[in-house]
């Protein structure tokens, strides 16, 4: 159980999102690989994805931060820590956190990137909580952003139909109200799952060469069936466990906020929680799998549609490369 003995809890105080304008719909994929709209919709739930044609992950993040400032009038130079959840950093180094600070002239913060693939937002929030609840930080900005199109092989029908680009920003601050904000979390890693979902090239194991390019080692590889089997169990397990140990009945949960990789995985998690379809946040149809951005993008979309309300109990759940997986139980604070 997460240690809640400290003085502070952590709550969301501001947020923003950015999705690029260019849309790749299923018809587009029918024109470039051997696939069908019907296969994509029934196997995954995806209809469209947004693609950033020019720019990098930091630009998705900057777009989201600017949206946050428009909505909440945040003074960026009061932020003391920036954590960027991404599997598509602009470069290996400097960190995307540093690039973002430079682009927005933020001088007040330090920061770093977190690599946990589709679970990176949940891992980043857990990290932000530790800084806030220990008293080390007062305003932590978590970015969930990925330009998946930069590492997608658009000749591989197994993966290219799945991913899209998006950026999100969420600001976290301390609260002395122990019933508000983040209330519990569960996090896991299992490195033995690494062989089923990875990008082999470009790191110190396989530095970039003509051969790594020829062998397409700078793109995502996924054994979809293998990942599917464990993702279904992992996401449902953490969601169920969070409900059990916090004595939450299905009627106490306002929304499940699941990582958006596959509608069938989302549905299996919902079933195990015993909740109705109307209590599941879904936007995979509009954006596909945007990796670190899916969970915060869901929350912001539902807020914008007037469905997510202050005080709502949320169960966040994710599963991704690593394997990494986890969940968060929180109360929405805005
Ligand atoms: O976000 C990080 C974690 N990732 C996940 O959670 C993803 C988990 N996996 C999945 O979501 C699913 O496994 C996929 C959507 C990737 C694939 O769905 P599936 O039902 O597991 O399909 P499959 O891989 O078992 O393939 C079934 C068939 C194969 O053909 P054969 O071998 O049965 O003749 C594939 O070649 O579907 C074929 N296929 C396609 N057909 C049309 C694979 N991709 C496509 C495609 N269009 N785009």
Peptide bond into 323 cis (omega under 30): yes
Torsion (CA) 185, 310, 178, 80 in degrees, nearest 10:
70
Q: How far is the CA of 26 from the centre of ligand 1 (A)?
A: 15
What does DSSP assign to residue 104? Answer: T
Whether the full predicted model's pTM is greater than 0.85, yes or no, is yes
Segment 236-279, tens digit of pLDDT: 999 999 999 999 999 999 999 999 999 999 999 999 999 999 99
Helix (H, G, I), strand (E, B) or coil at 169: strand
Q: What is the pLDDT of residue 142?
A: 98
Please state the domain extents for the chain: 9-178, 182-331
Architecture of domain 9-178: 3-Layer(aba) Sandwich (3.40)
Those residues with Cβ within 8 angstroms of residue 39's Cβ, 6 or more apart along the chain or in another chain: none
Ligand 1: residue whose CA is nearest its atom 16: 224
Pocket test for ligand 1, best of 30, 43, 235 (most atoms within 8 A of CB): 43
- Ligand 1 neighbours, Cβ below 6 Å, are 35, 39, 43-44, 118, 157-158, 161, 224-225, 227-228, 231, 261-262, 265, 289, 319-320
- Nearest ligand 1 atom, CA 35: 47
Query: CA angle 312-314-316, nearest 5°?
Result: 160
Tens of pLDDT, residues 140-170: 999 999 999 999 999 999 999 999 999 999 9
Active site amino acids: 118, 259, 289
Q: Whose CA is closest to atom 26 on ligand 1? A: 225
Position 7 scores a pLDDT of: 86
DSSP labels for 179-247?
Answer: TSEEEEEEEEE-GGGGGGEE--SSSSSS---HHHHHTTTTS-EE-HHHHHHHHHHHHHHHHHHHHHHTT
The domain 182-331: what is its CATH number? 3.40.47.10
H helix or E strand, kind and range, residue 96: helix 96-103
- Looking at residue 307, its pLDDT comes to 98
Q: What is the pLDDT of residue 6?
A: 80
Q: How far is the CA of 272 from the centre of ligand 1 (A)?
A: 23
Query: Which regions in the chain score pLDDT beneath 70?
Result: 1-4
The two three-digit tokens of residue 212, written as one number: 């790594």
The pLDDT of residue 184: 97
Phi, psi of 125 (to 5 degrees): -65, -40
């Amino acid at each position: 159980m997460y240690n809640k003995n400290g003085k502070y809890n952590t709550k969301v105080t501001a947020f923003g999102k950015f999705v690029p304008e260019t849309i790749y719909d299923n018809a587009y994929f029918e024109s470039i690989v051997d696939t069908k709209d019907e296969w994509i919709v029934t196997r995954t739930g995806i209809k469209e994805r947004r693609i950033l044609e020019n720019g990098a992950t930091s630009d998705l993040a900057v777009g989201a931060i600017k949206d946050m400032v428009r909505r909440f009038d945040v003074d960026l130079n009061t932020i003391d820590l920036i954590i960027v959840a991404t599997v598509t950093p602009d470069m290996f180094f400097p960190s995307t956190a540093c690039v973002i600070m430079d682009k927005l002239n933020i001088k007040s913060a330090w920061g770093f990137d977190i690599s946990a693939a589709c679970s990176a937002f949940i891992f980043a929030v857990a990290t932000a909580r530790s800084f806030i609840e220990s008293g080390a930080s007062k305003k932590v900005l978590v970015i969930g952003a990925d330009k998946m199109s930069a590492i997608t092989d658009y000749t591989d029908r197994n993966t290219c139909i799945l991913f899209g680009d998006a950026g999100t920003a969420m600001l976290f601050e301390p609260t002395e109200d122990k019933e508000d904000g983040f209330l519990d979390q569960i996090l896991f890693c299992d490195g033995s799952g690494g062989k089923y979902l990875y990008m082999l090239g470009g790191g110190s194991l396989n530095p970039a060469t003509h051969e790594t390019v020829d062998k397409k080692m700078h793109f995502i590889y996924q054994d979809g069936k293998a990942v599917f089997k464990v993702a279904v169990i992992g996401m449902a397990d953490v969601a169920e466990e969070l409900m059990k140990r916090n004595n939450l009945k299905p009627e106490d949960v306002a929304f499940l906020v699941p990582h958006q990789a596959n509608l069938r995985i989302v549905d299996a998690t919902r079933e195990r929680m015993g909740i109705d379809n109307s209590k599941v946040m879904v936007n995979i149809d509009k954006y596909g799998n945007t990796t670190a951005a899916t969970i915060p993008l869901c929350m912001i979309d539902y807020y914008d549609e007037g469905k997510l309300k202050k005080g709502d109990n949320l169960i966040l759940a994710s599963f991704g490369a690593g394997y990494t997986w986890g969940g968060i139980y929180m109360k929405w604070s805005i």
